Amino acid sequence: METVNVSAADVKNLREATGAGMMDCKKALVEAGGDFDKAIDILRKKGQKIAANRADRESTEGVAVTKINDDKTVGVAIVLACETDFVGKNDKFVALAEEFAAIAINHDSKESFLAADFGGITVADKLVEQTGVIGEKLDITAFEKIEAAYVGAYTHIGKIAALVGLSAPVKNAEILAKDVAMQVASMGAKTLSYKDFDPAFVAAETEARIAVIEKDNIELARLGKTLKNVPKYISMAQLTPEILAQAEADAKAELAAEGKPEKIWDKILPGKLERFISDNTTLDLELCLLDQAFIKDDKKNVASYVKTYGDVEVTGFKRVTLG
């Protein structure tokens, strides 16, 4: 049997091209008779075999990364997932994720991105190749893209990434976009405003939440504890002008019953109405970005914070996370 002599330089070049281990590269070159391209094919087939064997594994670890173009008008967030936290924190793994993100920003869908070129092979094939190199199942488990007059981002310890689009590149837009993206990452809003809700969703959610509170109150009553307030409403979408007018009338009647002089009602009513709205918009406070209490100053909501930057609005947001 003819012995194939493989130079250290060839092994080094193959390692740089594929990321595979030195011994794997040497074995592949020997098996390929020194043919560089054939050796790459051997390593890729090894990756395919490992990927097939690990297809049923869960890729719940990894890293979330973002990429924004130079004009700050387009941003993408992806998750490169793996099986273990050890691999997910590896510098080379994170660098690979950033390479993927630089490609992803030029595509409008995950499917298009996976079919894109990565050094002569597709992104999908690169994932398979690296599965063989690393020995764990790799996958792109999240892909989100956003376009706006100004796009900013925030990433939380590589586990959560958020993108935010603004209507204009106002002064200090970078700070505003990052702060709002941090809000998105931390509080997990699902939509911009209560105005985006489907009425059927609000109705079903109202019924479900009231049922939960009433059930809790049965146990609280049994224990002799203070009962929770059972709201009639959970979203500003339900608070019509008529309902708000009735709430004000009820508040006035309450003040009159308490013997408060009318001349001081104007000082008390705003607080009572604000409390009424807060108690009856719990869905908005949880799911609507602009209605949430701002994480850096809970005395104002996100919409109020955005207004401090002048004539600018949040036009959209995206969030990706591991798992």
CATH number where 92 lies: 3.30.479.20
Q: Say if CB 71 and CB 102 are below 8 A apart.
A: no
Question: What is the per-residue pLDDT for 10?
Answer: 81
Look at residue 56 and tell me whether its pLDDT is greater than 70: no
106 versus 36: the higher-pLDDT residue is 106
Summarize pLDDT for 169-180 with one digit per residue, the tens. 999 999 999 999
> What percentage of residues in the chain have a pLDDT greater than 70?
94
Q: Are residues 209 and 291 in the same domain?
A: yes
Q: Say if CB 204 and CB 220 are below 8 A apart.
A: no
Mean pLDDT across 201-223: 94
Mean pLDDT across 120-139: 88
DSSP string, 111-163: HHHHTSEETTEEHHHHHHHHHHHHSS--EEEEEEEEE-SEEEEEEETTTEEEE
Look at residue 19 and tell me whether its pLDDT is greater than 70: no
Into how many domains does the chain fold? 3
Q: Are residues 224 and 249 in the same domain?
A: yes
Spatial neighbors of 117 by CB under 8 A, at least 6 apart, are: 103, 123
Look at residue 42 and tell me whether its pLDDT is greater than 80: no
Note whether residue 187 is domain-resident.
no
Question: What is the per-residue pLDDT for 55?
Answer: 61
**Of 138, 172, 206, which one is at a domain's C-terminal end?**
172
**Of 36, 53, 70, which one is at a domain's C-terminal end?**
53
9-13, 294-298, 301-305: the lowest-pLDDT one: 9-13
Question: What is the per-residue pLDDT for 31?
Answer: 83
The confidence band for 1, taking pLDDT boundaries of 50, 70 and 90, is very low
What CATH number does residue 35 fall under?
1.10.8.10
Alpha carbons 257 and 253: distance in angstroms, whole number: 6
The confidence band for 29, taking pLDDT boundaries of 50, 70 and 90, is confident
Note whether residue 203 is domain-resident.
yes
Question: What is the per-residue pLDDT for 323?
Answer: 75
Alpha carbons 238 and 215: distance in angstroms, whole number: 23
Summarize pLDDT for 142-163 with one digit per residue, the tens. 999 999 999 999 999 999 999 9
- Range(s) of the domain holding residue 88: 61-172
Alpha carbons 25 and 132: distance in angstroms, whole number: 12
Q: Are residues 98 and 43 in the same domain?
A: no
Q: Are residues 83 and 167 in the same domain?
A: yes
